[in-house]
């Protein structure tokens, strides 16, 4: 199947209730915040992880839908295995003299070998085909710019990060049990956002899709992932998280017919209640003044 031929821009809304949507390891795993405004933040990397996990659930490791950045994966190993599957021996001289008469660095690709490796990895791995990646490690397959890009998510209103003391009625070691004289309790901390509605923006480039081979089927899987990814990512730490709205602007060409920022301004989250927000019913998502009820909502521009 050929690559997509149209440009897309989209707005994603998701919420969290009594959970930590994206802890900051440099801040004791506190929910990420804009220190000046109090707005909550969720990184693009966090959302891409959930998308990757969804694709793994739906497709497994089926042909052309493997995931390069797996949890606990070794990236250089995947690159080396790709060259091995292509029949390229990176320990000997290149098969073609135009790639060099000798191997400059043993175990590393060179010349057109890198192009072949990069193209093959785009075919095999969904996340490289979608998001791109830096493959210039280990055996070296260069670098890929992906057609799908996401911004940081930002809460539509300031959020509060709460700290909770929690108790586990057990200890980890015999030494802890002796020190406590049989009480056997472990105290800990947990951080949550009581409620937050977050907004992210995204872009799909047809020009970059042509370079990676990102198809209409790949795009449909991506939309499905944005809608359903939180349903398969529940944990005690994240509380209740859900996709609430996805507005997709479909352009009539690869170049596009409107400025993305202008399109995004057509989408608003409006408060319909007073006081602290604690549920999605406290908001309405509007497109051109009309409430968005479809999930996802496609708009041709």
Q: Which domain holds residue 34?
A: 8-300
Residue 2 lies in a domain: no
The pLDDT value given to residue 173: 86
Residue 24 lies in a domain: yes
Does 133 score more than 90 pLDDT? yes
Residue 75 lies in a domain: yes
Summary mean pLDDT of the chain? 94
The verdict on pTM exceeding 0.85 is yes
What is the percentage of the chain residues whose pLDDT exceeds 90? 83
Reduce the DSSP state of residue 116 to 3 states and report it: helix
Determine the average pLDDT of the residues in 17-45: 96
Tens-place pLDDT, residues 221-251: 999 999 999 999 999 889 999 999 999 999 9
Whether the Cβ atoms of residue 247 and residue 296 lie closer than 8 Å to each other: yes
Determine the average pLDDT of the residues in 25-54: 96
- Total domains present in the chain: 1
CA 196 – CA 123 distance, rounded (Å): 38
Determine the average pLDDT of the residues in 282-290: 97
Residue 17 lies in a domain: yes
Determine the average pLDDT of the residues in 91-118: 90
- The torsion angles phi and psi of 78, rounded to 5 degrees, stand at -65, -35
Q: What pLDDT band is residue 169 in, cutting at 50, 70 and 90? A: confident
Whether the Cβ atoms of residue 245 and residue 13 lie closer than 8 Å to each other: yes
CA 136 – CA 108 distance, rounded (Å): 10
The pLDDT value given to residue 294: 93
Residue 72 lies in a domain: yes
The pLDDT value given to residue 140: 93
Residue 240 lies in a domain: yes
Residue 1 lies in a domain: no
The Cα diameter of the chain in Å comes to: 74
Nearest to 206 by CA among 146, 289, 140, 267: 146
Q: What pLDDT band is residue 176 in, cutting at 50, 70 and 90? A: confident
Residue 275 lies in a domain: yes
- DSSP 8-state class, residue 28: T
Does 188 score more than 90 pLDDT? no
Cβ partners under 8 Å of residue 107, min gap 6: 80, 90, 91, 138, 139
Identify any residues that bridge with 15 across adjacent strands, giving them in sequence order: 197, 242
The pLDDT value given to residue 285: 98
Could you check whether the bond before residue 296 is cis, i.e. omega within 30 degrees of 0? yes
Q: What pLDDT band is residue 18 in, cutting at 50, 70 and 90? A: very high
């Amino acid at each position: 199947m050929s690559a997509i031929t149209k440009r897309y821009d989209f707005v994603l809304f998701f919420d969290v209730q009594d959970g930590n949507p994206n802890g900051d390891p440099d801040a004791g795993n506190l929910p990420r915040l804009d220190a000046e405004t109090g707005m909550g933040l969720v990184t693009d990397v966090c959302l891409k992880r959930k998308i990757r996990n969804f694709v793994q659930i739906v497709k497994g490791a089926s042909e052309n839908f493997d995931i390069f950045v797996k949890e606990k994966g070794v990236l250089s190993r995947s690159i080396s295995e790709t060259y091995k599957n292509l029949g390229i021996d990176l320990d000997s001289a290149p098969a073609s003299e135009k790639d060099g008469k000798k191997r400059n660095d043993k175990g590393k690709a060179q010349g057109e070998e890198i192009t072949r490796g990069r193209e093959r990895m785009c075919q095999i791995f969904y996340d490289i085909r979608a998001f791109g990646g830096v493959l210039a490690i280990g055996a070296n397959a260069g670098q890929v710019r992906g057609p799908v890009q996401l911004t940081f998510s930002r809460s539509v209103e300031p959020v509060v990060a709460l700290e909770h003391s929690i108790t586990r009625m057990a200890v980890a070691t015999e030494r802890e049990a002796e020190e406590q004289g049989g009480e056997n309790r472990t105290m800990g901390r947990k951080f949550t956002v009581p409620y937050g509605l977050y907004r992210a923006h995204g872009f799909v480039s047809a020009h970059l899709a042509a370079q990676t081979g990102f198809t209409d089927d790949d795009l449909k899987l991506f939309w499905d992932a944005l809608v359903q990814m939180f349903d398969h990512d529940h944990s005690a730490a994240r509380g209740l998280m859900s996709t609430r709205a996805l507005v997709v602007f479909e352009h009539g060409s690869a170049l596009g017919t409107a400025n993305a920022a202008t399109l995004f301004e057509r989408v608003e989250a409006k408060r319909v209640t007073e006081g602290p927000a604690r549920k999605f019913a406290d908001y309405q998502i509007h497109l051109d003044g009309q409430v968005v009820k479809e999930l996802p909502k496609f708009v041709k521009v």
